[in-house]
Structure 1
Amino acid sequence: MKRGLFLGMAGMAMALMATTGAQAQFGGLGRVLGSVAKEVGVPNFLSGPQPVSTSIKDATFADPSRDGFDAGTAQALTSLNRNDKGGFVLAPGHYTMLAQSYCLHAGTHGPSGGDGYLYAPVKGSAEDAVIAILQNSNAHPEIAQRDIQQLLWAIVARAKFEDLDNRLKLVAGQLLTTRQLASLNRNALSILTSSELSSVTGGLPGPLRTIVEAESQLRGMLSSGSSSYEDMERVAVLAGVAPMGAGSVDVPASRWSRHPDGYWVRYRPNGYTNTHVDIFVEANSSAVGKVYDPGKAIAVPGNTSRQRLAQSGRVYTG
């Protein structure tokens, strides 16, 4: 268990360094991880897979030339044809949708007015499972958004799916294959006692320590079956004023991203649970006939201390 724990922590550390680019701020991180490895008696591994690793460095599609662009009157994105995964088959024009979205970075702050978000693809060791949940949920409108969010928290926190309550196990069985569930269980971490958590996080930088603690608490909450959704939300989504995280970039809230398939997409979250999505497709462009698949998209904040948000093809109704 301790070896798996350290691998997970090291992965988070490396991901945070890559996310922020803060080599100076976390210059002693290798020494910290080395001391943790020595304390718990495991080899000094300096890398490990993150279930979701998408970060600001992956959001390379910002298009400042479209700032102030008038896309014209918007039509409902849901008016477009959809493929078997719930993706939208694009036609020329401006389309909009208030979509359900999901927290994918426990222990960080939720969106706030004025924050800019950019498109990036889903990446990480559990990207297959994350995409499957988001895509397959389109065919299951009876599954509550909160249940989907809890499954995603279970993934980012590396909880054991076999330890989830029966209701969430049933939902997981509807959205994931047996192979995907087995893979998630293999990569899960055990629940830490308070003393174990303190010994592991004591020397870590503040932002990383907060994330490790939040994920550990979520593992316990999801396994106990006695915690309310609101309790989990308080742990996963930090309240209060968000500082500017190291490595943040200035992203206006109105900024578009040019998708690799040739269309433009813009994300304007109202909170972590819902995001106003705009799609613009030029007439006669190569993007016509391509598919916008929300399940493969993450809205990444310019401020690295805020939530990255998984997108979905489900309409948010409050």
Structure 2
Amino acid sequence: MVLPRGLMLLPMLLVSGCDKITELMGSAAVEPGLVTAEPGGDVDATMAGLVMRTADGVTFRRDLPFPTEIRGKVRVVEDRKKVRLMGTSAVGRESEWLDGKVETVVSYFKRSGEFLLTLDQAERHLVEKDSEEVREVVKPASSGAPEGKTLHYVLGEKGWYHKGARSETDFEVIVWADALGDDLPNLMVEAGAHPRSQWFSSARAWRAGDRIVLTGNTIRLLEPFNVGGRVTLVFEGEEAVGGHPCGVFSVEGAYQVKDRPNLQGDRHDIEVTIQSGKIWASLLYPVILYEDFDQIQTVTSRRGGAKKQMQGRVCLTRSRAWQPVLK
């Protein structure tokens, strides 16, 4: 998979209409308790009655309108198991081994026609101290987006555009916004702000042991970009994530993505072999709330005249706090 970074809503970009952005920031503030959740626990009572079951099993609903206002937080932890990083540039070749956990956190706020995106933590190292994980303030030099900065996007006639003032002086923000460009809608899908275009049929009921094979663009159910390969999903049952009812699938297979963007504006060619893994897919909306994979990754990135390739085993978890405002 790609190496995502985080986002959180912090004050004040230099944008036109400062009062407007301040109002949005206030309404978008992550509420207490909006944290990325682990699988387990009970289904929230307000959602339990929305789950559709028949004598043949549970079905994934497609009839509920996707919320227009969502607060979300995405946390990604990559546990790198002696991953080799190789690079070439004008000064020669370099090689090093990466080991240990790296955390990225992203927060966003989306409502009809507007999307706010902030990088909260960009690849903080997680280290064990006194039986607890602590975050070291160590960030990779390759981080493309400015940590702690916020982008404000507005939907216009030609699509999503960054609402920056002509007097914008924050060069890092300008470069970051430009790098996301036309890929923003798919990145919003990955974050959970938009529904996934490929999803489970509402006509099919699922029981433990049922399977589905994804090939070609149907893998966009997992990876919302131009992707190819073959992945098998086996239904294991139901489990809640943060009170949200989900269907759990085990996952095995391999896929490839060319020139894949991420929310930092970086692009990578990616080859992934999923040795084992699971996803927790919402039974109510086309959103994946939790992913847990043991993978072999080959990630190739290019920036300027330099090329870097990361190859090896990565145990990856991606959790999403997903709070729709239902009206």
- Bigger strand share: 2
Q: Which TM-score band (shorter chain)?
A: under 0.3
TM-score normalised by L of structure 2: 0.21
Q: Which has the higher contact order (CA 8 A, sep 6+)?
A: 1
TM superposition score normalised by structure 1: 0.22
